[in-house]
Amino acid sequence: MKIAVLGGDGFVGWPTALHLSDAGHEVHILDNLSRRWIDTELGVQSLTPMDSIQERTRIWHAETGRRIHFNLIDLARDYELLKNWLAEHRPDAVVHFAEQRAAPYSMKSDRHKNYTVNNNVNATHNLLNALVELELDAHLVHLGTMGVYGYSTIGAAIPEGYLPVGIETMGGETVNQEILYPSNPGSVYHMTKCLDQLLFQFYAKNDRLRITDLHQGIVWGTHTEQTRRHPQLINRFDYDGDYGTVLNRFLIQAAIDYPLTVHGTGGQTRAFIHIQDSVRCIELALRNPPARGSRVEIFNQMTETHRIRDLAEMVARMTGAKIAWLPNPRKEAAENELVVRNEKFLALGLNPVRLEDGLLSEIVDVAKKFAYRVDRSRVPAVSAWTKDIAPLINHDPEGKRLKSVS
């Protein structure tokens, strides 16, 4: 297939582009490189040294003989440019990663909230609008989030996208139907993914677009089979309080002798998936598109669930790291259960990578190798969900701030 990977320079986008190219597909990356600019804004860098996208794709071609094409396009702002590219290339499938992906970043300030909504929602709608206008029957695969469901506990497993309900009619009878699972976003970022869902439902119904929405858990890990092939193909690794995912952050904290930062009771249960499984799931979704005119296909793209404090204790046992119990910058329940159904990908042949498969030590090794690149001041999570929470945040988990002499 000819596949457009929107946001293909990012944390999941880059290894996906490599994986699809390695599988024999013609891959085109469309990206505005905004994630690199955000690094500049935050004064932080990927733990792993990243070359330019042009150098990355050059190395891939030198190693494999396969080309990945790069196009500098801002999907949220350059509608005509996007439409013209789609009209010229008419891809068979579009994989959509081109959204600001960090919940803490989306809550930093009013400016960051506006940016996240404008970037994410406009990018998604511009893409859908262009596909309809061009009468382009490309299968759209979108990377969503488990966060659209929220984390409340109702004593039942979260289904894959749709909830069967009984509705009482005027005549007193019960009519059964399936509805989109009620959205319960926990941040502005998660809210934009909920808005994406509604856009997809409308365009699938109104214009018969073929859409798959992947509700993904928290990604952990560093390498995929393809990123291991050359040092310059390495994926980015975020450790800072805004973009670092929780398990990766614990492992880099352990590697640099920084306390593991657990917020609140650590009783938040989250869904997880390894980066290798993430790219496999995207390929499986591409191989199994919905029929034209059918409803949006929804997968829960996760493989296991864990409490945050349990993960911290596991990493502490493995590495000898200390745990720091800090105030929670998020507005959320202190404890929650999370039971998630994920039969669809398992039925398609996914053989998941589990935490016990020994890859945690691999991440620690990567973290130690590049520990010299860490800015310790960027490790704490300090983006507050509300103004009331902001004064409670601990900006110095190590307790190393200069104190006045009495």
Q: What CATH number does the domain containing 279 carry?
A: 3.40.50.720
141 within some domain: yes
176 within some domain: yes
Question: Which pLDDT does position 153 carry in this prediction?
Answer: 67
Domain boundaries, position 99: 2-237+271-305+336-354
Task: Strands of 156-313 (E only): list them.
Answer: 162-168, 174-180, 211-216, 218-220, 260-263, 269-274, 297-301, 304-307
What are 58-91's pLDDT values in tens digits? 999 999 999 999 999 999 999 999 999 999 999 9
Per-residue pLDDT tens digits of the chain, which is 406 residues long: 999 999 999 999 999 999 999 999 999 999 999 999 999 999 999 999 999 999 999 999 999 999 999 999 999 999 999 999 999 999 999 999 999 999 999 999 999 999 999 999 999 999 999 999 999 999 999 999 999 998 766 778 999 999 999 999 999 999 999 999 999 999 999 999 999 999 999 999 999 999 999 999 999 998 999 999 999 999 999 999 999 999 999 999 999 999 999 999 999 999 999 999 999 999 999 999 999 999 999 999 999 999 999 999 999 999 999 999 999 999 999 888 889 999 999 999 999 999 888 788 888 889 999 999 999 999 999 999 999 999 999 999 998 865 555 4
| Three-state SS at 382 | coil
Residue whose structure tokens are 């998604």 = 124
211 within some domain: yes
Distance of CA 121 to the CA centre of its chain: 16
- State both tokens at 266: 């650590």
28 within some domain: yes
Question: Which pLDDT does position 152 carry in this prediction?
Answer: 66
What are 197-211's pLDDT values in tens digits? 999 999 999 999 999
Which positions are annotated as active-site residues? Answer: 145, 189, 193
CA–CA dist 58, 65 (Å, integer): 10
Amino acid occupying residue 118: N
pTM for this entry = 0.95
Question: Which pLDDT does position 399 carry in this prediction?
Answer: 84
The number of folded domains in the chain is: 1
80 within some domain: yes
8 within some domain: yes
Q: Answer for the pair 97, 6: CB distance below 8 angstroms, yes or no.
A: yes
| Three-state SS at 104 | helix
Q: Answer for the pair 308, 373: CB distance below 8 angstroms, yes or no.
A: no
- State both tokens at 316: 């502490």
- State both tokens at 24: 């024999």
8-state DSSP, 235: P
Sort strands 68-72 and 26-31 into parallel, antiparallel or unpaired.
Answer: parallel
8-state DSSP, 391: G
CB-neighbour burial class of residue 325 (10 A; exposed 0-12, middle 13-18, buried 19+):
middle
Amino acid occupying residue 32: N
242 within some domain: no
Question: Which pLDDT does position 405 carry in this prediction?
Answer: 52
Nearest of 117, 38, 119 to residue 77 by alpha carbon: 119
What are 152-183's pLDDT values in tens digits? 667 789 999 999 999 999 999 999 999 999 99
Nearest of 267, 276, 259, 263 to residue 315 by alpha carbon: 259
Please report how the helices 110-133 and 188-207 are oriented relative to each other, as an axis angle in degrees rounded to 10: 10
Question: Which pLDDT does position 359 carry in this prediction?
Answer: 80
261 within some domain: no
